[in-house]
Chain A
Amino acid sequence: MLNISDIMQTVNMIDHQHLDIRTITLGISLYDCADPDIRTCARKIHDKVCTKAAHLVETGEVIEREYGIPIINKRISVTPIAQVAASCSGDDYAVIGHALDSAAKECGVNFIGGFSALVHKGFTEGDRKLIASIPETLSTTELVCSSVNVATTKAGINMDAVAMMGRIIKDTAELTADRDGLGCAKLVVFANAVEDNPFMAGAFHGSGEPECVVNVGVSGPGVVWRALQDVRGASFDVLAETVKRTAFRITRMGQVVANAASERLGVPFGIVDLSLAPTPAQGDSVARILEAMGLEVCGTHGTTAALALLNDAVKKGGVMASGHVGGLSGAFIPVSEDEGMISAVKSGALSLEKLEAMTCVCSVGLDMIAIPGDTSSDTISAIIADEAAIGVINNKTTAVRIIPAPGKNVGDNVEFGGLLGSAPVMRVNSAGSGEFIERGGRIPAPIHSLRN
């Protein structure tokens, strides 16, 4: 048998250090739901999702009990709706959003992702209709998540889409003004979006994916933080090794659960996303890991280097623990969902500019950040353009999930509740970017996109 200390270490990780499976996400292809009539299309989508995901939640709960590991979320991702609905005659895709919402509720999942369009090189008619339907859809549904990919390293940056998404984010915030702009918390603008991401709000089931697939996202910032307490003052070599070993264990657990879910659901296993995803709970923070490396507050000088080490060591430790690694895989730095990040912003040590720098070396982008409600759509588009440029040039995924909270100013607080947490409203640069955004067109792909 294994020795007592190994066994107790695992039990303590689960009981006291918030080790959990963050999400089991079932990816479902909806290509066969296309129909010229939008209402028929919506009905087909509803029925297919309900059939394929009928046992998802129940299976997740059985695995949870048998393995003694909390599985926080059971979710669904679907084919980008802009592609499924392209042949529909109607203009208003919110009908399909409502079908997704009601299917998600029937299945008992807590989010469904894929109200999405991929427009990095240009728009189809379906893409335009979908993007125009985002504000209404997000304001009239509860569980639907939306994402739009506006740039790739191969195609460059679609600046028309960037400009459009600034306006869509503003409209979404206005339509959900009674909930502090909550709709924007379910909307991600991507560069280099991945097809198998199990995490929300950016999950969708990509066009290269099979009919149905199980992807699993693990989480364990608290476990990494605890491990670093034992190596205070040690060199970076020791630090990196400690993170790697811990990431290995976390990811192995994810792989075991992924195999079990795949077998019991009769659906092929896709990937384990070996991300460190924080929650607003005490002891489940990525910011606190960076501080445990020796920084007084997350956001001070040295934070980018600390995050780079963490992100890399998580990948190196995790990659050997799983048969297939995918998704976003790395450290997440959402502000509202991380107790340490919130505290760092409130103390003045963590600014939007520093967060942008941090996104150059971690797995996502500017995530769950509240900004003043009177921020112009041009400025939001310019923030998206900066993030997209970082993603395109560095050949990595970046994203913007930003909330211009209506009626709120710097220093106010925005409450989203649950896993989405709360966010202090952050300062944005007040100088304009309007003329830059108005140019339109595409920023060409970088030279290193020509690798063939």
Chain B
Amino acid sequence: MKAIMTVTAQDRVGIIAGVCSLLADMGVNILDLNQTVMEGIFTMTLLVDTSTSSRSFDDIRAALIASGERDNLSIHIQRADIFEAMHRV
């Protein structure tokens, strides 16, 4: 399943490294990644494929949210279709 992940936080060193290694540990493949810093807020969006992972979507989502809470990151993961439907005619 293709999903869009968003990560927002106060900018600091190592956010991308932390998030990406967690995804790698879970076997989630990153298809695309965008990152910027807007007024000191780190904002990253990733297109990921969860079908490469042996874990269920619910598991992956729970692990990401838990790690976000631990490291002070706001993390969302949602099926990609919703974004395409809302922003493309």
- Listed in ascending order, the chain A residues whose CB lies under 8 Å from chain B are 1-4, 6-11, 15, 65-69, 249, 252-253, 255-256, 320
Contact = CB atoms under 8 A, between A and B. Distances in A.
A68 B86 contact: no
23 contacts: A2-B88, A4-B43, A4-B45, A7-B4, A7-B6, A7-B83, A10-B82, A11-B76, A15-B76, A65-B57, A65-B58, A66-B1, A66-B57, A67-B82, A68-B76, A68-B78, A68-B82, A69-B78, A69-B82, A252-B86, A253-B85, A253-B86, A320-B89
Interface residues of B, number: 27
A9 B76 CA distance: 13
Nearest to B35: A4
Contact of A8 (B6, B81, B86, B89): B6
A2 B84 CA distance: 8
Interface string B49-89: 00000000110010000000000000011110111111111
B47 interface: yes
Given A4-B34, A4-B36, A8-B6, A256 B85 contact: yes
A249 B86 contact: yes
Contacts of B76: 11, 15, 68
A9 B82 CA distance: 12
A3 B83 CA distance: 10
B32 interface: yes
A256 B80 CA distance: 11
Contact of B32 (A1, A8, A68): A1
A11 B6 contact: yes
B81 A256 contact: yes
Contacts of A2: 4, 45, 83-84, 87-88
Contacts of B8: 8
Contacts of B85: 252-253, 255-256
